[in-house]
Structures are given as C-alpha cells and as structure tokens.
Structure 1
Amino acid sequence: MDRPLHGVRVLEVARSANVASAGAVLADWGADVIKVDTPDGDGRPAPGPVVAAPNRGKRSIGLGLGMAEARPVLEELIRRSDVFLTDHPAAACAKLRIDLDEVRRVNPGIIYVTGSGCGTAGPDRDRGADEATAFWARGGSADGLTAPDAGHAAPTPSSGYGDNVAALAVAGGVAAALYGRRATGEPSVLDVSLLAVGAWANQFTVNSALAAGGPLPKLDTRPQSLGNPLVGGYRTADGRFITLAMSQPARHWPEFCRLMGRDDCAFDPRFTAPDTLAEHIDEAVGIVATAIAARSFAECCRLLEPGTGAWAPVQDGWEVGNDEALIANGRIAEVVDARGGTQRLVANPVKFDDGRLRLGRAPSVAEHTEDVLREIGFDEDALTELKFAGAIS
C-alpha cells in the first residue's frame, strides 16, 4: 500500500508554503487534493521549483471565494471533502465564510485544519508570521546557531526550511485525524503553528532551559568545546567540510589516526583516556584539523569510508539531490511538468512498503476548474453563467 490516503479528498484554501507543502505530502500519499486558486491566479508564484514542489499532485480550480455566485460551488466542494485545509487567519476566514462554523454547517463531519503562524489562540492569533519569524527566530533555531560574538542572527539555511518541517506535522496530524474519525466518528479541528513546530524542533534546548530556570549559556561551537576532537566540522584542503560525530573518542581515536595516516598518534596516552584527553584537547583537535586540512574533500571521504565511526560529508543542494541513498530509497523522484519536461524533486520522507513513489506535476492555475465542477454536478449552462460572472476561470 504505497498510497494509503487513496479515496480521501482534501480541499485546500491556502497560499503559504507550510500548508501548500502539507497538501503536496497528502497528495503523495494518495489523497485527491483540490487547490482553490483565485480566478486570475493572483498570489501564485512564478513557475519553477517553488511552485512545482508544494503544489505537485494537486488539481487547481479558479474560484472567487468572495463572490456570491461562487458560494454554491464552494459549498458543494466542502460537502464532498474529508478535510478542509487553510492558512487564512480568523478574520479572513470569517470574511470569506470559511471559518469553522460555516464549514461545519455545510459538512459536519469534515476535518478542519489551520496552518497558522503563532497559533489560533492567544494574543498573536491574528498576527502575520512566516517561517523566518515564527519558526526560525521566535522558535529558537536562530539563537541556537548564532555565535555569542556574531554581528547578526543566523538566517535560515534555505527558503522554505521551516515550512517544510511544519508541512510534515500538518500531514501527520491530518492522517491521525482521519484515523480518529474512522474509529470514533468524531471529526477533529487541528491547528499546527510554525511557532509550535519551531519549539518542537528545539525541544531539548527549551526543556533544558525550563529545567534550569533560566536561559542557558551560549555554547561554544568549536569542536573542542565538547571535549572531543572527533565531534564537529573540519575544513578540507579544497575548502569543503567534513563532519565528525564519533561520540566515543577513546574507542575511535586509534582507528581515525590510522585511516588518516597518523599512526604515530594512534596510541598516544595523551589522547586515549578521557582524563588525559581533556588536558590535551587543543593538541588533539590540532591533529585532526591538520590531517583533514592536508587532504582534499574527496580524499577525506575515501579514507574515512571504511571506518566504524560516524562521519558525513557536508553536501550542497546539488549533492543532496544526487545522493545515492536518497535515490535508492526513492526520495528523489521524477515528475513530468505541464510542458512535458522531466524534473526531479525531493519526495516526502515517508516510504510506504516497497512502492515506488509516483509524483504528479503541479497544476497550472485553474487548470481543473471545469473538470472538478462537472464531477460535483454543475452542467454546461451553470459553468457558462459562473464564467460570465467572473466567479470561476
């Protein structure tokens, strides 16, 4: 069963990447996701990966939610859906009549899901927020990666970083709610905020601070700050980086030294016992740094490969997209776009059974309007009237 949500219909009224990406994950898992775009496509970014990834596998309809003529279409879609997915704040939902009460009036059994910035309760429930503010800055990640003497806070590693983490939480919540409705007959109301996901990602730091009764001291990010020369990132001769994560230095030091051509240090008593290692940590770090800095990135990878200690190359986006492990497990998948071209995209990280993930392309704005409306009972005359009124495209 590689598409466990086959037969589930999701109605998505959203623009933000965290909710749109959640819809894409649900589509990957087999759901029929109908995305409501504006008739003129306003708010949809220009074509490219930023559109292809979060909108893949969906069907798009152009519908003017604020128009009275569009209301019967919207209500019929709600009536036939299992999940209503939105990122609109409460005031906007009320204005468009897509708030919980209105949606449940039409379909009492629908699962209602909000992807918010800072939650649907509390003082900031109507405050605008995105991944950079709610997830990254307010959720603690920026502080965790900002050195004590830095001139600016650490930025997010890539566009959509927090959005994509939150999307998995939204999709997982929807799956749990579908199971719960089947088991109990009761539909859930879900809220997954970027702030809550940011706090969850940093839960160990947050929990430790709460236990300590105040802010934690800033960590020294150098490898030797942990008292272990085999933990941390080291620069190679050609400007790349290797990350070591060998948490038991006494166990892995001799092997590392042999692999990197430093047999003379392998059993040096200064580095083979915890107490003496602590006394000579700077020397140990220097040995590791010098050994790696003397070799190219490729050579370091080749030498470390047969070892038993944990390490990894620091990869850029191109290398991640061509990572053999991701490809072998089907986590880089191909999709044919609207022009017939083949594009590779990162797949969601959940692999069901041994099925090969098949990604559907992102739709053009309003591409499926007529098909979807015919499915839910609107005839040609009704479609013509809706087009004439500007309610659909």
Structure 2
Amino acid sequence: MKKPMTGVRVLEVAQFTFVPAAGAVLADWGADVIKIENPVTGDAQRGLVTVLGRSAFKPGASFAPIIEAPNRGKRSVGLSLALEQSRPAFEELVRRSDVFLTNHLPQTRAKLRMDIDDVRRINPDIIYVIGSGFGARGPDRDAGAYDATAFWARGGSAAGVTADDADAPSYMPAGAYGDNIGGLTIAGAVAAALFGRLATGQTSVIDVSLLAVGAWTMQFDVNLAMQYGCSLPKVGSRTQAIGNPLTGAYRCADGRFIQLSMLQPTRYWPQFCRLFGLENAATDERFASLESLAGHAEEAIALVAGAIGSRTLDDCTRLLNQADGPWAQVQDAWEVANDASLIANGRIAEIVDAQGSTQKLVASPAQFDEASSDLRRAPMFAEHTDEVLRELGIGDDELFNLKFDGAIG
C-alpha cells in the first residue's frame, strides 16, 4: 500500500497554506487533488513576492517553495465560481469527488454557493472539510485568521516562548508554521472520515481550526492551567527541568548548542560524567539519588555547562555518540535540509520543476511501506483547466465559450 489514497478524488477550493497543505499531503498519499483557482488571480499565495524578507523566487527560476510545498501533486483548474456559466462544471466536479476542502469564510462560501448544504445537495456522500481560524461555531466563526494570529498568538505558543521581560512576544520559528501542522491534522481527519464512510456508510463534516490546533500543541500547559485554575508561572529562560541537569540546552565552546533530554538523571549521570572527564562527580554522593541531585541541581548544572562549554560541538557530538541517553544538536534550517536521517528515510525528496530542473522539498512525515515519496511538482496556474473539464465531457466549443465569458482560465 504505497499510495493508500489512490482512487480518492479531492476538490480543493482554498488558498494560502493551511488547507492547501492538507491537499498536498493527500496528493502525496495518492489522491487526485483538483485545485480550483480564481481564473484571473489564482491562489493569492501565488502573488507573494517576498517571504520573511526573502524573495520567494530565485532569479531565472519558476520554482517557488511557498507554492510548491502546499500544492505539489495537484491539478489546477481556473474556474470562476462567481459566474453562472461555470456552475455546471463546478457541480460536476463536486458530484465526482469524495472530499471537498475549503478555508473560505462563511460569507464567501454562501455567496459562491459552496457551503455545506449547497455541496451536499449535489453530492450527499461527500466529506466536507472546513479549515477555519476559530471554529465553525462561537463568536469568531466569521472572523478571518492566519496561523500567526489564531494558532501562534491566541493558541498560547507565543506566550509560552516569550520571557516576562521581553519587549515583544517571540514570533513563529518558520513561515506557515501552524498552517503546516494544521494541514497535517486535516489530512489525518480526512483519512479517518473516509474510513468511517466505508465502514458505516455515513459521511462527515470536518472542522479544523487554527486555534484548536494551537491549543492541542500547547495542551501540556493548557491542561495544567485548567488543573490549577490559573495562569502558569513562567519558568524563565533556563531550559533544564527542575532537579535534572541532564535536560535542557547547553552552549558549546564554538557557540553551538546541545539539547539534552535524559529524563532519568541518576541512570545517565555516571556515564555522562566519565565521558566528559568528570570522574569525581560520577561517584559524588551529592548526585547519587534523585533527592540529593535535586538538592544540588545548581552545582550539577554548573558542572555540565562547564564540561560542554569547554568543548566544540564536534567534540561534544563525538562524546555523546558514546552515551546511552537522548540528546541532539540544535540545527538550523540548512542543517535540517541535510540531516542524514531525514535523507536516509526519504523525508527530503527530489522533485522535478516545470522547467525540468531537479529541486528538493521536505516530504510529509508519514511513509507507507518504505516507499519513496515520489513527489510531483505543483501545477502552474490553471494548468489543467482544459484537461479536467474535458474529463467532465465538456467539448472544445463549450471550452471556447467559457473562456470568452471569463468563466475559466
């Protein structure tokens, strides 16, 4: 089962990253994803020229990761849902689809006659999926959102990584950070709904909000806050767990960082000390039990910081590779792109762009039967309009008339 979604038809009326990322994952898994775009402007994300202060395109190349990543493997149809002439084609696409994906606001869905009731009248069995900012109900159901607002700021992550004395809250570590987590959530929900329809004959309406995804990612702290009935105190900038010096981040001599996560400190302490030349500390009674280690945590943290801080990242890596406890070096985006484990498992995948050049993208996390990702590029704007509409039985004369009327791109 290398492409478990083979044979599933997904109709996507969405833009930017949140819901399109779900369509990309479903396409990775084998679904035929047809993306409907405005026949004049296309997905609004195609119009982004700069991202986080950098050009979205390399000079002389058509490949743009902000388009490729959330739209790979799809077919693009330029179709104006605002014009009556395009309605028969849209309805036939709905009729032939298993899943309908959208992130448009309720008023837009109603205006374009693609809300739940509109789509279900055409295809009662379709799985209808809404990616929203704040959920389908409640005071903010009609409000627009991006992951920076609903997921990061309101969902608790920004506060969670911001020091009390900071002049401004910390920003997301990457563009579309919450969108991509939310897209993967939607893809999993679609898979569950398809299985449920097969098992019970009943279809589903799915709503995944960026706010709910944000709360889910922060649930460790949110659940504790509900247990205590108040906001949690900030733990400060120190990353070590209370009483455990073998957790948290430590700076190496060359300015790089090591992240330790040895959650059973007394188990790993003697080995760590011997590897890093702290033989006396390995048998020191102050660090022999959980209770005594907690009581002398500051001294233990200072020993670990000194041992790591006097060595380069390469030296620490060589020593920690001999240890049993979990650890990792702190990597930047370029290092992640070249991570040997990601590459060995096919999670950095090659893709051939529209110009025939080989590019690379991060593959979606789930791998089936150890198969390669086999990514296909994102469609050019409205690239498959004629192809898809011909599959619906629309002939050349009607295609010409639809183009003349501005109904298709």
User: Cα offset for 1:374?
Assistant: 0.5
**SS of alignment partner, residue 286 of structure 2:** coil
Q: Give the count of matched residue pairs.
A: 393
1: CA distance, partners of 2:8 / 2:227: 43
1:281 aligns with 2:297: yes
Kindly report structure 1 stretches of 4+ aligned residues shifted beyond 4 Å. none
Percent sequence identity over matched residues?
A: 59
Partner of 1:11: 11
1:159-174 aligned at under 5 Å gives the runs 159-174=175-190
2: CA distance, partners of 1:225 / 1:2: 41
Moved more, 224-233 or 314-323: 224-233
CA contact (8 A) 1:84 1:113 kept: yes
User: Cα offset for 1:181?
Assistant: 1.1
Q: Deviations over 1:213-240 (max 9, x none)?
A: 2222222341455111111001111111
Partner of 1:71: 87
Which 5+ residue runs of structure 2 have no aligned equivalent?
49-62
User: Cα offset for 1:149?
Assistant: 2.1
1:337-376 aligned at under 5 Å gives the runs 337-376=353-392
1:51-200 aligned at under 5 Å gives the runs 51-200=67-216
Q: TM-score, length-normalised on structure 2? A: 0.94
CA contact (8 A) 2:241 2:248 kept: no
Partner of 2:225: 209
CA contact (8 A) 1:249 1:272 kept: no
**SS of alignment partner, residue 44 of structure 1:** helix
1: CA distance, partners of 2:357 / 2:21: 22
CA contact (8 A) 1:24 1:54 kept: yes
Partner of 2:30: 30
**SS of alignment partner, residue 308 of structure 1:** coil
**SS of alignment partner, residue 105 of structure 1:** helix
Which 5+ residue runs of structure 1 have no aligned equivalent?
none
**SS of alignment partner, residue 290 of structure 1:** helix
Write the letter of the residue equivalent to 1:106.
I
User: Cα offset for 1:281?
Assistant: 1.7
Moved more, 367-376 or 218-227: 218-227
Partner of 2:404: 388
1:203-242 aligned at under 5 Å gives the runs 203-224=219-240, 226-242=242-258
2:260 aligned to 209, 232, 244, which one? 244
Q: TM-score, length-normalised on structure 1? A: 0.97
Q: Deviations over 1:107-159 (max 9, x none)?
A: 11111100000001110001111111111111111111112222221211111
Write the letter of the residue equivalent to 1:361.
R
**SS of alignment partner, residue 45 of structure 2:** coil
CA contact (8 A) 1:245 1:311 kept: yes
Moved more, 268-277 or 290-299: 268-277
**SS of alignment partner, residue 182 of structure 1:** helix
- Change in 2 beyond 3 A, CA 1:65/1:52: same
Q: Deviations over 1:272-291 (max 9, x none)?
A: 22233233222211111111
Measured on the aligned residues, the alpha-carbon RMSD in Å equals 1.2
Q: Deviations over 1:297-327 (max 9, x none)?
A: 1111111111001111111111111111111
1: CA distance, partners of 2:16 / 2:381: 16
**SS of alignment partner, residue 362 of structure 1:** coil
Write the letter of the residue equivalent to 1:338.
A
Write the letter of the residue equivalent to 1:192.
V
- Change in 2 beyond 3 A, CA 1:224/1:2: closer
Partner of 2:45: 44
CA contact (8 A) 1:41 1:62 kept: no
Moved more, 153-162 or 259-268: 259-268
